[in-house]
Amino acid sequence: MGEFVNLTVADGVGTIRLDRPKMNALNVQVQEEIRAAAVEASTNDEVRAVVIYGGEKVFAAGADIKEMAEMSYPDMVKRSGPLQSSLSAVAAIPKPTVAAITGYALGGGCELALCADYRIAAEDAKLGQPEILLGIIPGAGGTQRLSRLIGPSKAKDLIYTGRFVDTAESLRIGLVDQVVPAAEVYDAAVAWAGQFSGAAALALRAAKQAIDAGLGVDLHTGLEIERQQFAALFATEDRATGMKSFVENGPGKARFSGN
């Protein structure tokens, strides 16, 4: 698909693979290729869940600072919107997503990982938002997604200090969800994503949309979002299949079509 970012599909699992040596720096081209891969993963019916992966050595060490250093204020006024939206395209994938984190996930790399529903990290991985050390702040969702994930005080600590976080702390504060040996990160992520390859795709989409949309509204509005998504699923084939299978065979035995 792209020079540095590609989507491959196997057994219902799509892998968005970053491959820009040496550190997967997120320059403008990589940002736009991430967007394209996310859109393809969203619309490809063969993809039932998605792994975001930077390879065995590094997830993504952040933005391309050499490129960014040459940008003026007017330049960044124009670029900041597309920068945010390129990663938000990953967050908007209407399917389960998991970040397989090796090496470093820093700055924009951490922000990319935050766009996933679930994060699996190598034992020696380092995460963080070190933008403050460059005299700036996170600009691709870090101040917003990080605070929603781990709480404002912990997010402020990481963003104010710019420090790197090891996986023991990342697991403790909820920045990552699972820690495995480095050699097992990708396989663990594929295994997590693979459990959804035969799941009710429209129900998963509805669950993700209800949770994500509900995070930004009051409880009353969130409950209404949930109600609408819940009721809409009664128009799907998979709802009829799942309930019929439950009545006849018990839970967990339905074979869904994704419709």
- For the chain, count helices (H), then strands (E): 11, 9
**pLDDT tens track for 58-106:** 999 998 899 999 999 999 999 999 999 999 999 999 999 999 999 999 9
- Residues paired with 99 in a beta bridge: 52, 119
Nearest to residue 252, comparing CAs of 188, 210, 203, 200? Answer: 200
Q: Are 149 and 156 in contact (CB under 8 A)?
A: no
Catalytic position from the list 70, 111, 184, 248: 111
CATH architecture for segment(s) 201-249: Orthogonal Bundle (1.10)
> Distance (Å, rounded) from C-alpha 34 to C-alpha 25?
12
**175-231, pLDDT tens digit by residue?**
999 999 999 999 999 999 999 999 999 999 999 999 999 999 999 999 999 999 999
Residue pLDDT, tens place only, 233-242: 999 999 999 9
Give yes or no for a contact between 192 and 249, defined as CB atoms under 8 angstroms apart. Answer: no
CATH T-level fold of 5-194: 2-enoyl-CoA Hydratase; Chain A, domain 1 (3.90.226)
Is 111 a known active-site residue?
yes
**Domain coordinates in residue numbering, the chain:** 5-194, 201-249
Which residues are registered as beta bridge partners of 32?
A: none
Residue from 131, 169, 184, 248 carrying the catalytic annotation: 131
pTM listed for this prediction: 0.95
